[in-house]
Structure 1
Amino acid sequence: MLQHIAIIMDGNGRWAQARGLSRSQGHEAGSRQISVIAKAAAELGVKILTLYAFSTENWKRPAAEVNFLMGLISRYSDERLSEMQENGVRLRCMGRIDQLPALVRRSVHKTMQATAGNSRLILNIALNYGGRAEIVDAVNAILQEPRRAGRISEADFQRYLYAPELPDPELLIRTGGELRISNFLLWQLSYSEIYVSDKCWPDFGKEELLAALAEYESRSRRYGGL
């Protein structure tokens, strides 16, 4: 069984529109699906689930929607803490967390600390995350170090990424049918298999996850070889 799945959770707004609901209601439905997929992934033996929750570009959305999403993230972190403890889930966040509102920072840090000892599944949430931003931040961190002789290797560079201890995802799933990676994990996805589901995120359940895993298992990963 693969270790690490990454998911671009797309389609909350379209899901809501198709049902005559508000975008906020779509995001609410999407947040509930996180627990469904996290539980299913853990049951299937997946060790790391990375979810793209809020990108560095999402600040361009209307202020009311951004404020709602910030509140939703904070509430999810607070309200799902006991569930994470019961299921052995460790919360981890990656991105420019220091730029998030104080309420969100407090909530996620509290839950990360409380679940730090859990080991069944790492739920790695990308918040205020962008693949280009991560690479730029890594370069700037390297430049802050005293000058050293020699060239920087890929392994050296990776130590400065947001989650250097995590293996690269073997599988990227994108819901909602769009065919792009949207500035997500640009370094880490170099050899990940990509699976696109036409289901919008609120409709993506365990059955759809199993279909993605079956497709993954049918592929031959060659890493540039034969």
Structure 2
Amino acid sequence: MSYNASFLDGQVFYEDVYFELFESVRSHLTLPLSWTVTEGAMALLYLLVYCYELGIKYVTAYAFSIHNFKRSPEEVKKIMDLMMESVTLLTRLSKFCSLRVHFAGNLQLLSTELRNAANKLMENTASNSNLVLTICVSYTCSDEILHAVEESCRERTDGAVVKLADIEKHMYMAVAPDPDIIIRTGGECRLSNFLLWQSCCCHLSSVYTVWPEFGVLHLVWEVLDFQHKYTYFARKKMQL
């Protein structure tokens, strides 16, 4: 299998999901935001090691939507600070498993410090090839499509017709193949503006397990489930 795309947008709301069945004791079981996001980041690092061992080459993580900038400034700052820490951890992990890292999205919306750190990590891991991680940050697929169309039109100064290949070339996710699986954690069944363009022929899976608790057994189950349906999806892709 070549690809595994996982939703991470539930990580900040880990507390809300985890304790939803225990309303009577909610006020006594409060997890700080920094802890829940840190747990989400560590879960990603463990997942990358599992994927490496299972031979899954491409992993995409939805880390931060453009819409998330509408949250409180304090919340956004905490997440951005933890993302900076994650860049440091990914730098170390890249040396262990020859990890290549891409950041996909409107990076101009990020702080200069985080954008520079992301660009440096992409540059330093560009020659790695065993495992490819794409982190969708400051991303929505609608913004991705708009960006691709604008860039395609900008190239066509001669008035030539814009073709499908032109648009796909300028998509943020042009750095990776289309997904085989999209896994949505937390029991949600919506795509939340994630890989809408790329997901026409992939297996969509919604698991009730919240993101920080998504471990190797969940991943193996998803791989086996996909392999059972692989022939159908392979045939669909050949028809495109």
Q: What are the within-5 Å matches in structure 2 for residues 156-171 of structure 1?
A: 156-171=166-181
**Residue pair 2:59, 2:132 contacting (<8 A) in 1 also:** yes
Counterpart for residue 236 of structure 2 = 223
Deviation by residue 1:95-124 (Cα, 9 ceiling, x = unmatched): 001220012112212221221111110111
Deviation at 1:135, TM superposition (A): 0.3
Deviation by residue 1:131-155 (Cα, 9 ceiling, x = unmatched): 0000000111112124346543322
Task: Give the structure-1-normalised TM-score.
Answer: 0.93
Alpha-carbon separation, structure 2, partners of 1:144 and 1:163: 19
Task: Give the structure-2-normalised TM-score.
Answer: 0.87
Alpha-carbon separation, structure 2, partners of 1:14 and 1:157: 34
More helix by share: 2
**Alignment match of 2:195 (pick from 174, 185, 189):** 185
Deviation at 1:165, TM superposition (A): 4.0
Unaligned 5+ runs, structure 1: none
Runs of 4+ aligned residues of structure 1 deviating over 6 Å after TM superposition are none
Alpha-carbon separation, structure 2, partners of 1:103 and 1:165: 23
Q: What are the within-5 Å matches in structure 2 for residues 78-97 of structure 1?
A: 78-97=88-107
Q: Cα RMSD between the aligned structures?
A: 1.7
**Alignment match of 1:34 (pick from 30, 33, 44):** 44
Q: Secondary structure of 1:185's partner?
A: coil
Alpha-carbon separation, structure 2, partners of 1:55 and 1:180: 14
Deviation at 1:62, TM superposition (A): 1.4
**Residue pair 2:84, 2:117 contacting (<8 A) in 1 also:** yes
Counterpart for residue 54 of structure 1 = 64
Aligned sequence identity (%): 30
Counterpart for residue 25 of structure 1 = 35
Aligned residues: 224
The 1:150/1:223 distance shift into structure 2, 3 A limit, reads farther
Deviation by residue 1:129-181 (Cα, 9 ceiling, x = unmatched): 01000000011111212434654332222111113242100110111110100
Alpha-carbon separation, structure 1, partners of 2:54 and 2:140: 28
